[in-house]
Amino acid sequence: MSTDSIALGQPTVGEEELAAVAEVFRSGWLAGAGPACRRFEERFAQVTGTSHALTTANCGSALFLGLKVLGVEPGDEVIVGDYTFPATGHAVVQAGATPVFADIRPDVFSADPAHVESLITPKTVGILVVDVAGQPGDFDEYRAIADKHGLWLFEDAACAAGATYRTRPAGSLADLAAFSFHGRKGITAGEGGALVSDREDLIAHARKLHTYGIEPAISREGSNTLPIPEFHELGYNFRMSDVQAAIMNVQLDRLPDLLAARRSVAKRYHEAFADVDALTVPVELSDREHPWQAYLLTVAPEVSRDTLALRVREQGVQCNFGTYASHLQPIYGPQAPLPVSADAFARQLAIPMHANLTDAEVTRVGEVVRQAVQSLS
């Protein structure tokens, strides 16, 4: 076994991020929703092609806040793309509604528009779809369905910073979009998230809710009076700290280079596995730009994905399953079968994907995976 492990995911951070954090330390404002957060919000709204952005503690809190300001209530049903980390479905449950999971396309694993529409009932209030591994789903079709049935549309863009759909940036494709800045994402502060929209009313309401139900303290800076906020509704502490926001401002500067590095790795992987019959490489649709938050191979049914993963790990290459078929998770109770999502859950393998991979590491990953597949075929 090799002693030099190749990481599945890894952030790209350095002296620039440290300098930005030091500047925040000197400012004295380390708490949430401060000047660094406001700077990042302005810049991230531009990157996502939206008018308004709100920094949050993580993507889960952004999803929850979005559902709350959209008016989700107990008894409502929300259609959710099934192939995703269960934070998506959890947010619906936390908001008091019922997630109704939609099966996925077999090529890019985003929600199948035809199945989405088939799930609409009188209880349905909205559609929450996921940019799987960062690649946006079929948003023109989703929008047509939502408009036809009088529903809202929410984009779980957790992995999608820098992605596009028909030239439009991820984040601008729905009424609201939520992003993650977790350590494995394309840009990261270790944790953190954002909620973006063109609707000022939704973001303004979410801004109050994410600070216990009042405007953040920065809104009262410089007042000539002593404003005392009043609490009119239950809120939460879902703020991003200014330390994290300082890091995110530098990460935004890095974004073009980080995307280019990931796309280069994806191209090398495509070439490495093109002639391996037991592996199907991920599809990048021609009308989209994939940010490659993850690289998900699909393993042929006759090869054990789990055994393959263990063989690859034995050679010092980190790997994991792709993501979850949410409807199979016990927390949601009995669900209708979703065969395409269940099949992807059983057969997908995530291999190292990040902007720090060297050419030698990419070559080694390709060789290790190929040899492991051959040993099992």
Rg over alpha carbons for the chain, rounded to the nearest Å, is: 21
Q: Please report, for residues 5, 95, 119, 328, 329, the alpha-carbon distance to residue 337 in angstroms, rounded to integers and kept in the order given.
A: 38, 24, 13, 8, 12
Active site residues: 185
Q: Are 165 and 288 in contact (CB under 8 A)?
A: yes
Q: How many other CB atoms are there within 10 angstroms of residue 334's CB atom?
A: 6
Q: Which residues fall within 8 angstroms of residue 322, CB to CB, at 6 or more apart?
A: 83, 133, 294, 296, 344, 345, 348, 349, 350
- Both tokens of 99, joined, read 């997630």
- Both tokens of 357, joined, read 């991979």
Q: Are 194 and 238 in contact (CB under 8 A)?
A: no
Best CA proximity match to 8, nearest among 353, 265, 272, 372: 353
